[in-house]
Amino acid sequence: MDTYQLAALEARIQTWKQNFGGSQLTEADVEELAVLLKDTYLELRAANLSDDEAWLVATHRIGRPETVTVQEQKPLTGNANRNWMMMLWGAVGVLILQAIFIVMPQVFNQTVVSVFQPDNSDSFIKNEYYAMAVILFVLFILVTLRSGYFINRFTNSLTKNASLYAIVAIVAGLWAGFCSYITFVKYPMAATINGYSDDTRTAFSVLMFGFYFPLIFVAAFATIRYYARESVTFKEFNRNINWKHALILGLLAQTPIQFSHIFSGSDAVRATVIISLSVLLFSIIGWMLSYSKNAFSTIFAAQIAPLFIWIMGSVMNEQARFIFFIFYITKVIALISSYYIGKTRHQPEVALAQ
């Protein structure tokens, strides 16, 4: 698209935005919709639709503005969903900041001391903590003063890269949760003083998982759901799964499977639980991907997380290479088998939808 066409498109969008003057949407909401409209239009043009066809389909997907009525005082559903999503992202953001600025300095303080080799390590660590506290205090003040700017930039960026942000929420959030878990495992002083048994510490680990994983999952889902209009129904979401969504699904499935390694019991019982959970979760993903139009890219993306675990496990524990391979191949077989079974079962339905 040349410069003249882009200028014409921008003028067209500006005219379209004027239709929302009497609606309940805020200026930020309209800007987000305008960005989504432009991206949708460009995608349709890339799919060889004409200018008028692309504009008609794109504006239809966005929807018409709701005029002001006597129900004006009722909160707009879109705004409520947006506030819910931003609250979840605030929780995930605090979790990540806590891992970076509180948990990691505690875990790696000896590593930092070994690098700098100060004369007095206790004094060095104490000054490090004070310095980080002052820096964070100043940064939070600056962010508060420019909160409107950062919020607008963040929400606009979410509009363009919802799937990417969902991946960030999962990966960074789970990393932050894992850091907190490692701190509990590495520094079990409180558990030892209070006489907690290993079973009690395992139960506390389950509690931590029950907090971190749902929070991260809901934040990722709310992000995709808010900005992906096609995900209104489960089948429509499945039909529009791309490689980013498939990667997210693989990460979400791998997390409870990885967590099941801490279950108490014999190795045989633990392996049975892991394999059973792997077959169940990746069969569900394979069935979901069977609705998708991009089989190779989505299946490949869905198995990236298990592949990474297999490689890392084989490198870190050479004696367990075979069992890591069994875990990985089980997920791949479940994923591909369920995909082809689902493809066969609803092939006429998918063809009709396309």
- Which pLDDT band holds residue 282 (cuts at 50, 70, 90)? very high
Give the mean pLDDT of 264-292.
Answer: 86
Q: Retrieve residue 65's tokens.
A: 């503005």
Contact 278, 286 (CB under 8 A): no
Q: Retrieve residue 327's tokens.
A: 């875990």
- What pLDDT, in 10s, does the model give residues 41-61? 887 887 788 888 888 888 877
Main-chain phi, psi angles of 67, to 5 degrees: -75, 160
Question: Hey, is 24 helix, strand or coil?
Answer: coil
Q: Looking at residue 190, what is its pLDDT?
A: 47
Q: Kindly tell me the burial class for residue 82, based on how many C-beta atoms sit within 10 Å of its own C-beta (0-12, 13-18, 19 or more).
A: buried
- When the pLDDT of each residue in the chain is averaged and rounded to a whole number, the result is 76
Q: Which segment of 63-72, 178-187, 223-232, 267-276 scores lowest on mean pLDDT?
A: 63-72
Q: Does residue 188 register a pLDDT over 70?
A: no
Calpha distance 345→329 (Å, rounded): 24
- What pLDDT, in 10s, does the model give residues 88-105? 888 888 878 877 787 777
Contact 164, 37 (CB under 8 A): no
Calpha distance 170→166 (Å, rounded): 6
Amino acid at 241: I
Q: Looking at residue 226, what is its pLDDT?
A: 66
Q: Kindly tell me the burial class for residue 3, based on how many C-beta atoms sit within 10 Å of its own C-beta (0-12, 13-18, 19 or more).
A: exposed
Amino acid at 17: K
Q: Is the dihedral of CA 311, 312, 316, 321 positive or negative?
A: negative
Give the mean pLDDT of 152-161.
Answer: 69
Tokens 């499935």 belong to: 253
Question: Is this prediction's pTM over 0.85?
Answer: no
Calpha distance 37→32 (Å, rounded): 9
Length, in residues, of the chain: 354
Q: Looking at residue 68, what is its pLDDT?
A: 38
**Number of CB atoms found within 10 A of residue 294's CB:** 14
Q: Retrieve residue 154's tokens.
A: 């963040």
- Which pLDDT band holds residue 76 (cuts at 50, 70, 90)? very low
Residue with more model confidence, 182 or 119: 119
**Number of CB atoms found within 10 A of residue 173's CB:** 24
Residue partners of 195: CB distance under 8 A and separation at least 6? none
Give the mean pLDDT of 246-262.
Answer: 80
Q: Which of 20-34, 91-105, 140-154, 300-314 has the highest mean pLDDT?
A: 300-314
